[in-house]
């Protein structure tokens, strides 16, 4: 399927690994030019940059000034901005319960999982509105509607993100800018499966084994496995392109059937 992304300029945050890296690769395969944003870069991004079509930059999205600089870098590199993919995010399991989550913890969680997207959209939106078209795709989480005490602050931030995106879609849709969210369940990335990831953290707190924790989580899905980053990327890239031109204000769950629906 031709997704009509050839020649488009896209900003992707959290692009150095996991879902963000998969999205960047998929966009390049569709002929888009990508400003790939990450906090510290990666060898994979360097390889993509060397092959062309990717402009990799480092930025800390906890810095309120970073989004404006990112948008300017994208305009300088490719002369336009057509799509924004908000992917950056982080989660820290609260194995000691709600009382252990400090005000600073709450602020940090909302900075990276909510305000980073708000600020990126604020910086990018004037350019999309001026063009009379554009797509904003934000990667959320099933935890927006599946609150979990283990990730209580993360769940709240993702719920706020989903609500914000829906509200914004109603404002900017008549001007030609689409706003959608993608909500993955557990994905086979370092966030879940890496050293210091969710599975390892839970195992460390319970005296269990990280692989056993991961297997139990995977077993909660109908498909019995984690979603692959490339599967999330395919959905994100479809929503970014013009073949999804009448889709806005929608949330798409990709969780292997984890959430029971009617």
Locate tokens 């970014």: which residue?
Answer: 240
Structural domain contains residue 1: no
Structural domain contains residue 212: no
Structural domain contains residue 171: yes
Structural domain contains residue 236: yes
212 is catalytic: no
Contact assessment for residue 21 and residue 187, using Cβ atoms and an 8 Å cutoff: no
- Structurally, the chain folds into a number of domains equal to 1
pLDDT band at 198 (very low <50, low <70, confident <90, very high): confident
Structure tokens at 196: 């210091």
Angle between helices 229-240 and 18-29 (to 10 degrees): 50
Q: What is the pTM of this model?
A: 0.94
Q: What is the CATH number of the domain that holds 63?
A: 3.40.50.720
Structure tokens at 2: 């031709």
Tens of pLDDT, residue by residue over 223-250, are 999 999 999 999 999 999 999 999 999 9
Query: What's the domain range around 32?
Result: 9-185+227-252
Structural domain contains residue 238: yes
Which of 78, 110, 154, 238 does the annotation list as catalytic? 154
Contact assessment for residue 202 and residue 208, using Cβ atoms and an 8 Å cutoff: yes
Quick one: pLDDT at residue 179?
98
Structural domain contains residue 260: no
Structural domain contains residue 198: no
Tens of pLDDT, residue by residue over 135-191, are 999 999 999 999 999 999 999 999 999 999 999 999 999 999 999 999 999 998 877
Structural domain contains residue 150: yes
């Amino acid at each position: 399927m031709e997704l009509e992304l050839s020649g488009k300029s896209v900003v992707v945050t959290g692009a150095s690994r996991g879902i963000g890296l998969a999205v960047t690769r998929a966009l390049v395969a569709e002929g888009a030019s990508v400003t790939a944003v990450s906090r510290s870069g990666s060898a994979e991004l360097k390889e993509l940059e060397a092959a062309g079509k990717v402009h990799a930059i480092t930025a800390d999205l906890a810095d309120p000034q970073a989004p404006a600089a990112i948008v300017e870098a994208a305009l300088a590199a490719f002369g336009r901005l057509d799509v924004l993919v908000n992917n950056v995010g982080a989660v820290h399991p609260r194995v000691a319960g709600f009382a252990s989550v400090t005000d600073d913890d709450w602020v940090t969680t909302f900075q990276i999982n909510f305000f980073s997207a708000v600020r990126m959209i604020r910086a990018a939106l004037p350019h999309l509105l001026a063009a009379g078209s554009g797509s904003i795709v934000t990667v959320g989480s099933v935890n927006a509607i599946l609150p979990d005490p283990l990730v209580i602050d993360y769940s709240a931030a993702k719920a706020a993100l989903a609500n914000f995106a829906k509200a914004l879609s109603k404002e900017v849709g008549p001007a030609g800018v689409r706003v959608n969210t993608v909500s993955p369940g557990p994905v086979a990335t370092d966030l879940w499966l890496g050293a210091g990831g969710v599975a390892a953290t839970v195992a460390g707190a319970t005296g269990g084994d990280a692989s056993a924790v991961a297997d139990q989580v995977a077993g909660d899905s109908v498909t019995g496995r984690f979603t692959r980053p490339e599967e999330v990327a395919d959905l994100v890239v479809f929503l970014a392109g013009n073949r999804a031109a009448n889709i806005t204000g929608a949330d798409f769950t990709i969780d292997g059937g984890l959430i029971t629906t009617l």
